[in-house]
Amino acid sequence: MIHDILFKERGLIYRVLSLALYTPLDQEAQEELRLAVGQLSSITSLQNLKDAVNGFRNSWLEAWNMPREKLLEEYTRLFTNDYPELKCPPYETFWVTGERVIYGPTIKDLEEIYKTAGLEPQPGVKLPIEHVALQLELMHYLVSSSLTQEQFLCLQEKMFQNHIQLWGKPYAECLERTARLNCYKATALLLRDFINLEETLFKNHSFCEEA
């Protein structure tokens, strides 16, 4: 059974997490994140996330008062270039195989989910589709679309269990340890707590069994 408010709020959480993990150089994403952060105070169905949501909102409000160069420097260190190597690569393949490469064994399934959803990677987006930000953005789309199109119900479950669940918590724990700025630590904590809730949701109710 679909609970509209729950699904809308799940979609919102996926969206803010995705936007928070995009480069601060993307002004459009940053502006959308500001708007989405303002909507977090209206969440009612995810009470177990209250502390994590508040921490996320407050830390990003704090971050936007910093010089943008400081935020960009931290993003670069965490996501693109840290000597001698990235401590927490933002790619699914690393968390599945331990190898510092992309397009590993789960990529074909991810591509099939995109295809089934009728989507193609947006032109101009240089990130591989297995990047954590793009996966969270895809999940936001699948959850939001499932409110009006039943075929997306099973698809969001597959996306979570076959992909996000594989890297979500270990990546979040690594990001929390590695991040120096509160906004990224808070993003990690929200991701970890949200993954726990999503695991419970899909454990207690399979939409694919109904298909």
Query: How far is 130 from 90, CA to CA, in rounded Å?
Result: 8
Which structure tokens are listed for 178? 């590695």
List, in order, residues 6 or more apart from 131 with CB less than 8 Å away.
Answer: 90, 91
Residues 96-112: tens digit of each pLDDT: 999 999 999 999 999 99
Per-residue pLDDT, averaged over 169-176, amounts to 97
Query: SS3 for 91?
Result: strand
Q: Determine contact, residues 46/164, Cβ cutoff 8 Å.
A: no
**Entry pTM:** 0.95
Residue 126's pLDDT band (boundaries 50, 70, 90)? confident
Query: How far is 38 from 51, CA to CA, in rounded Å?
Result: 16
Q: Determine contact, residues 105/86, Cβ cutoff 8 Å.
A: no
pLDDT at 9: 96
Query: How far is 140 from 134, CA to CA, in rounded Å?
Result: 10
pLDDT tops 70 at residue 123:
no
Directed axis angle between helix 50-63 and helix 182-204, to 10°? Answer: 150
Diameter over CA atoms, the chain = 50
pLDDT at 1: 46
